[in-house]
Structure 1
Amino acid sequence: MNMLATITKASAQSVWMAWEAVFDQITKLRSAGIKRYGICKLVIRRHHGKNMKCQDGEWIYSGDWVGELHLDNRQVLELSRELGADRAALLTARMLRRSIKQISEAMETEPELAQVRALTGITLLHRGIIHGLGFELHPLESKGFRVFSTYYLRLLLKVLHPVGRERTKKNAPKLVPKMLMLTRKSLILRYSKETA
């Protein structure tokens, strides 16, 4: 990457981080709270959309409380700058697992999470980063939300990933957003078996 491209990329990343700070403030207004666990932000909010039957037989109904997972993109960006894309991806996956385990433990001890029925999230990176974490993948039902999420998350990948533009062009057909879902029951059962 030449110097001009590097400066342009760094500027775009700075703008994106500023936007995320604004988005965090908006998120606070539309949620019951935001908690942090390692590399994850957990937004406690109501589930909107269709009722969903999960693989463990549990139902998540519209209006149920869920914990919406968001990676801390500032931490991911710093790791990428320090370690390079491939090592950062591996470390992010390990840190994500650690965060999910922390959330599982918090589900049983923190009153703010007592009503949370499941963990959810929207991601393009369902083929790699969440492998082995126990999440189910569901298609996004709303066409409008699916189109918006595709555009937004591909733009995020282009801006924050060192080779995001090339990766987006090469793998565009595969970069389709999916909803992640992991019920409280399956979360606690899975992660209570793991050692710290």
Structure 2
Amino acid sequence: MRINFRKTGLFVWNVIDPIYFHFTRLGYIESKFDDRRIMRVRLTKYKGRKVTLSDGTEINKNDLLLKIHLHNIKILGQIQNNDSEVRRALMIYKFVQESLPEIVHYIEIRGNTNEIKGLIGITMLHRGCKKLGVEIYPIQNRYYKMFKQIALLPIYLLSSSKIKKK
């Protein structure tokens, strides 16, 4: 009997994800593409070092940010039948691009437009970020960075088609 680790991993993740969603106090952003509703968000206070964005905006400790999370299990479900890494990347890029106006709409509806200084998220998907208008800043705390790398490892393992080679 051969076990399909990717399908088993996706099944387990589907079971755990609602629990994770509950404890992280995330909320969904409504989407006109309901099957592509991949962004989950929550308001948070920034706890890192001072960052100056390219437009001159300064993000300081305790500034209000909108933390964005990609709904990874949903994305994996939509791209898993694609063997091409490039095709997968383009699909994810398109999903994120379609979600950005919805994030703006979400902020406008909440009425926090003057309080929220920016968006924040942690990802392994950094190629193409500049085309989306996103600036990249590395995590400074090495322990937090290591924790996030370990936490993101299952996503990487389940999403990569090159695992057998590595």
- Alignment TM-score, normalising by the size of structure 1: 0.70
Is it true that 1:115 corresponds to 2:131 in the alignment?
no
Q: Secondary structure at the match of 1:45?
A: strand
Shift of 1:70: 0.9
Residue 4 to residue 114, structure 1, CA distance change in 2 (3 Å): farther
Q: For residue 17 of structure 1, what is the aligned residue in structure 2?
A: 14
- Checking the alignment, whether the CA contact within 8 Å between 1:79 and 1:88 is kept in structure 2 is no
Aligned to 1:175: none
1 or 2, which has the higher helix percentage?
1
Which SS does the other structure have where 1:125 is aligned?
coil
Offset at 1:4? 2.4
CA distance in 1, matches of 2:130, 2:13: 27
Quote how far apart the aligned CAs of 1:146 are.
0.6
1:51-81 CA deviation, whole Å, 9 max, x = no partner?
A: 2111111111111111111111232122123
Any conservation in 1 of the 2:59–2:117 contact (CA below 8 Å)?
yes
| Percent identical residues | 22
Decide whether aligned partners of structure 1 residues 60 and 73 sit closer, same or farther in structure 2, where only a CA change above 3 A counts.
same
Letter in 2 for 1:101: P
Q: Which residue of 1 aligns with 2:54?
A: 55
Given residue 19 of structure 2, which amino acid in structure 1 is its aligned partner?
V
Contact 2:79–2:91 (8 Å) recurs in 1: no
Report deviation, 1:114.
Answer: 5.0
Given the superposition, is the C-alpha separation of residues 145 and 62 from structure 1 closer, same or farther in structure 2, using an over 3 Å criterion? same
Q: State the AA in 2 paired with 1:75.
A: K
What is the rounded CA distance, in whole Å, between the counterparts of 1:121 and 1:162 in structure 2? 21
User: Distance in 2 between the 1:143 and 1:162 partners?
Assistant: 25
Q: Which amino acid aligns with 1:110?
A: R
Distance of 1:84 and 1:142 partners within structure 2:
35
Q: In structure 2, what is the equivalent of residue 183 of structure 1?
A: none
Q: How many Å separate the matches in 2 of 1:75 and 1:20?
A: 10
CA distance 1:67–1:14, shift in 2 (3 Å): same
| Root mean square deviation, CA, Å | 2.4
- Is the alpha carbon distance of 1:124 and 1:166 closer, same or farther for their aligned partners in structure 2, counting shifts above 3 Å? farther
Q: How many residue pairs align between the two structures?
A: 159
Q: Are residues 131 and 154 of structure 1, via their aligned partners in 2, closer, same or farther at CA, if it must alter by over 3 Å?
A: farther
> Which has the larger strand fraction?
1
Structure 1 residue aligned with 2:163, among 162, 165, 177?
165
**TM-score, normalized by length of structure 2?**
0.82
